[in-house]
Structure 1
Amino acid sequence: MTEAQNIAELLFGPRDPEYQGPLRYNLDFRRVNLTTPVLPDIVEHQDVEWARQLLRAGTLPENPQSPLPDDIILIQDIVRDQLSGYVETDRPRADRLYVLDFQGPRRQYTMFGHSTDLPTRIAEHCQAATPHGYALLGGWASPGVDDAYSMEQVALRLARHEYGWHYRERFYEMPLTTGMNYVRAVFELNSDWRTRNSTAHAAGEL
């Protein structure tokens, strides 16, 4: 059994041998109590959904360098600022897993990655996505660790095994909450987060 299958069965229980398709939306994460922090949304849900529908109905810009609408850029900038809040001030260059939600013409994708410079990496993703009519509408990042590469690879293998439709690290029409569950679970099962979290609780820091 592969590492991804082991984690999948821990999270979701044994797979029905008769079932051949990917598990997509209603995954049961009740088997693992996820405790990594999730920052509250700054942008109102209805504003994000308005932006999503506007972007989904759009078309590839005739001029690949043409900007997104000002309102969409504002929402994207607010989301980027929110994601910067995941960077601990005492460990600004620690490695972090991240999950990002991009919406564009007709398609959405959730992507996984890791970086020791989260704000710059997110800016690079936005810069690459904008010419194709995509904007960042949400995301999550893990607490810092020394090296998140191996955990990123496990998260990607798990998502490919359970979800399916992807191109490299982009998973099309995967809800952000599903991507967050994958990455948070992999992070918590493969890092010292639970030990750190328990120690912080005992010390009254959380």
Structure 2
Amino acid sequence: MSIASNEHEYWARERDSQRKDLVRRKEALTLRLRAGVRSPFPHEIDQLSKDVVSTAVLGKNPDESGGRIYLLEFCGPGQPGQYVKLGSVIDNYRRRVLQHRRIARVHGFALVDAWISDQVPDPKKLEDALKGFLRIDHREHDGEYFLNFDIEKAASVATMLTEAQRPRHASYTADIDDQAQQTIG
């Protein structure tokens, strides 16, 4: 196994370890958010929003520029009460995430989870492919907004698609496509 592969696995384990705490915190705050917490949000909600983004990029290329795809989960009052925003960015992903946080906050929604890819060569093409895969199994969507959607499931498919973009042997890429279909179906 290569050094790069070992380092990649180390950071993936580190992100997974930190996600356990984030998921616990998200679950604890979801009921409050669905009840209709108004902006400015309490410190623990703002802190969770910041921590999920930091954890999502832990161990990935720290350069904020470059193409990436992202999944952002927001929670707030009323119906649907939760949605996942899928998007791509070719410049500063942190700036784009902050824009989404501000827009959601106006409507009483807070960022409670995030998945952000490492840099990818063609983020728009990858975003379109991911939308297509996610729409196969989930009918409640409006463009890139998926209502009442499991971000973990979406992140699994997104991870497989981004891994498939890495230069590999052709049979490895076919295996990734098969895994994505099995995860969705």
Q: Sort the TM-score into its range (normalised by shorter chain).
A: 0.7 to 0.9
Task: Compare relative contact order (CA 8 Å, sep 6+) and give the higher one, 1 or 2.
Answer: 1
Of Structure 1 and Structure 2, which has the larger fraction of its residues in helix? 2
Q: What's the TM-score once normalised by structure 1's chain length? A: 0.66
Picking from 99, 105, 119, the partner of 2:77 is 105
Specify the alignment match of 1:15 in structure 2: none
Amino acid at match of 2:56: L
Q: Distance in 2 between matches of 1:100 and 1:129?
A: 11
**Secondary structure, counterpart of 2:153 in structure 1:** helix
Specify the alignment match of 2:175 in structure 1: none
The 5 A counterparts of 1:109-188 are: 109-115=83-89, 116-188=91-163
CA RMSD of aligned residues (A): 2.5
Q: What's the TM-score once normalised by structure 2's chain length? A: 0.73
How far does the alpha carbon of each residue in 1:118-138 deviate from its partner, in whole angstroms, 9 at most, with x for none? 111111110110011111111
**Secondary structure, counterpart of 1:109 in structure 2:** strand
The 5 A counterparts of 1:18-167 are: 37=12, 39-40=15-16, 41=18, 43-58=21-36, 61=38, 66-85=39-58, 87-89=60-62, 91-106=63-78, 107-115=81-89, 116-167=91-142
- Does structure 1 conserve the Cα–Cα contact (< 8 Å) formed by 2:57 and 2:117? no
Amino acid at match of 1:80: V
Q: Distance in 2 between matches of 1:48 and 1:82?
A: 14
Report the identity percentage.
24
Q: Distance in 1 between matches of 2:143 and 2:100?
A: 14
Amino acid at match of 1:182: V
**Secondary structure, counterpart of 2:70 in structure 1:** strand
**Secondary structure, counterpart of 2:139 in structure 1:** coil
